[in-house]
Structure 1
């Protein structure tokens, strides 16, 4: 019984340790990051490193992609758990927003008194854009299409028709001089307004324009654009964000833009999604020391929980749980497992009790059989006169007595059975002693 008890206790301890390890282990999530060379890969890599150094319950495993289209496709195919997504380029059908990594705004930069006074004047003109921002071109083309204009990447060196806009790709340091010299009639910026890169670019344009003649324009009827293009969002650029005297912009600038979002697959549990979102925002200050883009992270704007969960750019319910401070408790998260463990533990306890009863009954039966044999030996000894046979019976009595003693020492036994067996041993030995004495005479 002692061996069986230890075996059962070791099994229970192993099961308990396995359950504890499973409940406390870090959750490893794969994150598709893009675009290559952008700010998001460095940002998510910093978060992945922080999850290790802070011993967070979440571990992020980075999977790199060349562009946000590829990362969105990987999320849609279930190859990653999280992904950097830009909705206006590719929106995975199973993608739900955890956080907005950065918001983009479309800003038109022109010279005061120049030929372009707004979007409607861009027909037949040349439009400068950063050459490396190829992913921004579809967004600009879609906005120009609202004015009946076509963005033509290959018409920069030829006469531009009135119904077209010639795209002139330029490096950052070339954009300002090109606008000042008239090689482009306007410059289109698709950028995060509050970022250092945006401030640097506007400063270069302002210095190149000279005499403080740079003007920044937004998108007219931004609300109407967003209503017809649900993957975009309305953006307000605060007056004076880029400094200057007069300030740039002169007043609040209403425009449209897109966003880079950290999205999770819809099948990711609410508790894990809430934990990831908590990790993103609680460690933002720490990550910003290595990746300044962390300062641009924000939550998806919404007024009510109903609005958040029914938005055209859908949000993960787990993220909303974190924002609303309604995260699941430990009991709520593992309620099913706790019930299963309780049921399983109850079953093991019942099995242990049954095993103990069975073994105890077997021991009782063994002592009862041995006692019955001793009584049978006593009866047999009265009928035997052969000394050799009597000595053989005496050896059997000694063997039975030894076995009963071992049972009593090593296993818990009924004291009444042991006492009866002891009386039977004494009786058998007494009868054998008289029989041997009579045989010798």
Structure 2
């Protein structure tokens, strides 16, 4: 619980939140038995010798490596091959006890788990061959069934001559199972961090291989099938080409922010209109007053009346423009006001054209003094 990354073998007990970032190496299970003849002596036919997994019942297997995982994998192989595990005795030897393993006469077969180019596996086969005779490699014929029942294992083949060319060890390909050493991460590790680690790991893999040959075994995890542990979503996104960009990750937040800002803007506009409702009402009342004046202009009796209404309308225009400058009147409202104003100007022009030239001003009454002078 104190680490974000770890290395572990896939068949060991993993915490439930562990997920795979990369395969550190693939370990093949190698089972073989000694022929009982050494050197260049002719091969002894099967007879009572161990030639397959079923013959292991009642015998003892020497296991290289003191981890309990190697004992567990042997038990899984025996069960999958129809052999009761309690019928097979085992003895474990450290990786530095290869000669002791080879010289133990009580052992009837051997098991090693490691990469195909493992120096430990090759040394063990060579040592047992030298002490007990040429190896007979035991095929795990139920490898596919075992892999189906236990997703932590995979069905594999050991190529011919992979451990030795002359004589060929093995002479032909051999069915087996494998288990991976994994680079693991917590499920809670962010997708971005896992993806960044994955990219950097494979970017420097070739450089690491120059100083450590085993780094060449680092491979991508298989995202096409169910595995245990499952592949971390960050690594899977890089492998499958589905890694999300910055916009992909945060587009939902952007849209939400836009909606919020739009809502705030609408609320602010409503509040502004509410606070300026008096100015809006004044604009409407001014527009209505001009419409009322239009009908009066059409019946104007003199130029003096026209001038009076024009002065009134000029006052309304001045108030309207001031409201527009203050932001209380919208451009569309001002456009509507302009239409009414244009209608007024047309009415004034039409009425002025119909007034008789030199017509007396009916709204003007002479003073008594001026009348007496006339």
Give TM-score, length-normalised by structure 2.
0.58
CA 1:273–1:144 in 2, change beyond 3 Å: closer, same or farther?
A: same
Q: Does 1:122 align with 2:45?
A: no
- 2: distance between equivalents of 1:330 and 1:125? 61
In the alignment, is the contact (CA less than 8 A) between 1:127 and 1:188 conserved in 2?
yes
Q: Which residue of 2 aligns with 1:188?
A: 111
Q: Does 1:108 align with 2:17?
A: no
Give TM-score, length-normalised by structure 1.
0.50
- 1: distance between equivalents of 2:62 and 2:104? 12
Q: Does 1:242 align with 2:176?
A: no
- 2: distance between equivalents of 1:171 and 1:273? 35
- 2: distance between equivalents of 1:138 and 1:201? 20
| 1:104 counterpart SS class | strand
- 1: distance between equivalents of 2:190 and 2:100? 52
- 2: distance between equivalents of 1:178 and 1:82? 35
Superposition deviation, residue 121 in structure 1: 1.1
Superposition deviation, residue 215 in structure 1: 1.9
In the alignment, is the contact (CA less than 8 A) between 1:106 and 1:219 conserved in 2?
no
| 2:219 counterpart SS class | coil
Length, aligned pairs only = 250
Matches within 5 A, 1:261-272: 261-272=182-193
- 2: distance between equivalents of 1:281 and 1:205? 38
Q: Which residue of 2 aligns with 1:328?
A: 244
- 1: distance between equivalents of 2:204 and 2:62? 38
In the alignment, is the contact (CA less than 8 A) between 1:234 and 1:255 conserved in 2?
yes
**Which structure's relative contact order is higher, taking Cα pairs within 8 Å and 6+ residues apart?**
2
- 1: distance between equivalents of 2:97 and 2:131? 10
- 2: distance between equivalents of 1:196 and 1:338? 56
- 1: distance between equivalents of 2:108 and 2:102? 6
- 1: distance between equivalents of 2:67 and 2:56? 20
Superposition deviation, residue 255 in structure 1: 0.8
Superposition deviation, residue 222 in structure 1: 0.5
CA 1:323–1:207 in 2, change beyond 3 Å: closer, same or farther?
A: farther
Tell me which structure has the larger Cα radius of gyration.
2
Superposition deviation, residue 124 in structure 1: 1.5
What do the CA deviations read for 1:313-345 (whole angstroms, capped 9, x no partner)?
4212221222234433455456678899999xx
- 2: distance between equivalents of 1:289 and 1:342? 52
Superposition deviation, residue 180 in structure 1: 6.4
Q: Which residue of 1 aligns with 2:84?
A: 149
- Structure 1 counterpart of 2:232, from 316, 326, 341: 316
Q: Which residue of 1 aligns with 2:120?
A: 197
Gaps of 5+ in 1: 1-73, 152-163, 344-441
Superposition deviation, residue 184 in structure 1: 0.9
- 1: distance between equivalents of 2:99 and 2:51? 18
Q: Which residue of 1 aligns with 2:5?
A: 82
CA 1:100–1:129 in 2, change beyond 3 Å: closer, same or farther?
A: same
- Structure 1 counterpart of 2:137, from 209, 216, 228: 216
CA RMSD for the aligned pairs?
Answer: 3.2
CA 1:279–1:200 in 2, change beyond 3 Å: closer, same or farther?
A: farther
